[in-house]
Each structure stands twice: as C-alpha cells, then as structure tokens.
Structure 1
Amino acid sequence: MEVDTEAGATNLTAEALKRKERLQKMRNLATGKTDGKKADENLPKPIFRSYRPKDESLMENSLEQKTAGDIEKKVEEQLELAKTPLTIEDIDISNLAPRKPDWDLKRDLSKKLEILERRTQKAIAELIRERLKENQEDIFQAVNVGSSIMPQSQEDDD
C-alpha cells in the first residue's frame, strides 16, 4: 500500500486553512468584529440632546443666561461673608452637666432590671393569693378595710 504524499499534503493544507478560518471567526466574535467591521460600527450612533429649556421664562434661571459680572458679584459677596468672624452664642455653662459616672451601668442593666421587676410583681401577687386562700373568711374583712381606707386617702390627697 502506497500513500500518495501529494494528495495527503493537499488534504492536510486544506484542513489547516479551514481550521485557520474557524479560529479567525472565533477571534472576531470574541473581539466584537464581524465581517471585517468593528463592533462600534454596528451599534447605533448616540443622539445628543440639548437640555436647554424651550420656555423663555425657564431660560432666565439657567446658568448660561447669567453674565460673568453677576457671577463675580455673587462670588465676592460669598468671600466677604467668609471673612467676617463667626460669633458663637454664649453658652450657659451652668446648664451643662457631665453624665454621672454610672450612666453606662444603668443603661446596660435596665433590661435585666425590667425582667426582675416583672418577676418580683408576679411573686408578690402569688404570695397574696396564697395568703388569701388560707384565710377565705378574711377576704371579706380585707375588702371592707380596703373600701374604708379609699375614701380617707382621697380626702388626704385633696
């Protein structure tokens, strides 16, 4: 079996050319070129808009309508205001008081104290209920004593 070297060489060169074309197409796609044109040429051109107002009353306020003299006057006014010393209002030192040394401890413990206060109130209520259950007959006396004390305490408040 003889291999035709000329036919094999032409076949290899044809395949190499095809591969080269495919690689070139892939490079063009990666860089954004298509058919020899750049990607920028394929995009629509941007439209630049003018933001100048069409209404003349609005144009009076625009920066373009102001003259350089007007701007210079305003800048000079601002510079003069900056030169004047600022007067700080007198602060009454007696109203300023430093924080107490334990303010941070009170802040940190306030939540825990709230929880303990609730538990204490529940415990007191439970103790009262237990005492009242022991002495059911004394309930009526306690109500009577409480009702008699209420009018006296209202008179004391007045």
Structure 2
Amino acid sequence: GFSSVLIQATMSMPSRNNDNDSNNTEQSLSMVSAPGLEEAMRRKERLQRLRQRQLNPESAATVESVDTPAGIPVAPPVLPVFRNYKAETDHLAAGHLPAPDLVDVESRLGDQLKAAEPKPLLTADSDITAIAPKKPDWDLKRGAERRLAKLERRTQRAIAELLRERLKQQKDPESLVTAVNAAADQARMGSWQAAN
C-alpha cells in the first residue's frame, strides 16, 4: 500500500541536515503518485517543526502560522485542559489546572469514628446475672403458668374429695382432723416446691 511505499521512499533517502531532508523527501515522494501524498507532506512538515521546537526551546514560544487553502479563516485552536500532564510550551501551560485542595477526612468523620468504636459488654459495676443465659425452657414455662394454675385448683378439689371419701369410710372424728391437717400441709409443700 501507500504506507509501505512511503516508508521505502523515506528509508532510501540519505540523511543530511534538516533543510536538505525536506527537499529530498519532496523529490522522492514526487516520484510516487498516491492520493494521500499531500497529506503525508503536511504530516512530515509538522513533525519537522515539532523536532525543531524540541531542539530550540526559545523558538518554541512563537506560534507558527498555518496556511489556509482558499483564504478560509481558521478558528483559533482549542487549548486542552491538562490535569496530570505538565505542558512543555508556554501557550499550553495556561490550560494547566491548579492542584486540587485535599479534604482532611479524619477531621470530618472523627465523631462518626468514635461512635462506631465497639463498647465492652461487661464493666466492673455490671451485674453478671443480668446477662446470664436463661434456662432453655423458660418460654415454655411462661406460657404454661396460666394452665398450671387452673390445674392446681382442680388438683386441690380432687384431693379434698378423696379425703372426704376416706373419712366417710373411717367414721372416726379425730382422724378427720388429722387427715385435713395432713392434706393442707401436703398442699402447702406442693405449692412451695412448684414455686421454687
């Protein structure tokens, strides 16, 4: 293609000084006829100007004028904004952004960091029984207390009924008093054991 012909043409040229280089390039490229020849010449000229600017930094400050075809006015080039790149030329250095102001995160979030610190579960004055685990069946006992109270009344009635039957069979009044006292003691002991 065209690029391989252009590369071969530029490779075959002897290197001399920069002025003769451009003349030789024009002569060697004029021998090659291709549609992008003019574009290649403009690119070559731009590269030579860039090379001269790098070799002569004092002349880099002057901006070269670009020929416009048919007198069409050209808008001034838009300068890029540089954030992470330090421009080498002065006219591009105007587009350099100043360094950003960094915010001290620790001062802004200090209160939040202190609030997020974990607090100890036990202190010297805390009661160990407040955090002691409950028995595994505590919730079952809580729900069963109402039912057990109803059953306790039925149990007491049943005990009293059984005592009456025994007393009717014995027919001894003194044994009646001792049996009632024994049943009352037994009922008190049963309710005391259930509470503890």
* TM-score normalised by length of structure 1: 0.32
Structure with more contact order per residue of length (Cα contacts < 8 Å, sep ≥ 6): 2
Larger radius of gyration: 2
* TM-score normalised by length of structure 2: 0.26
Higher helix share: 1
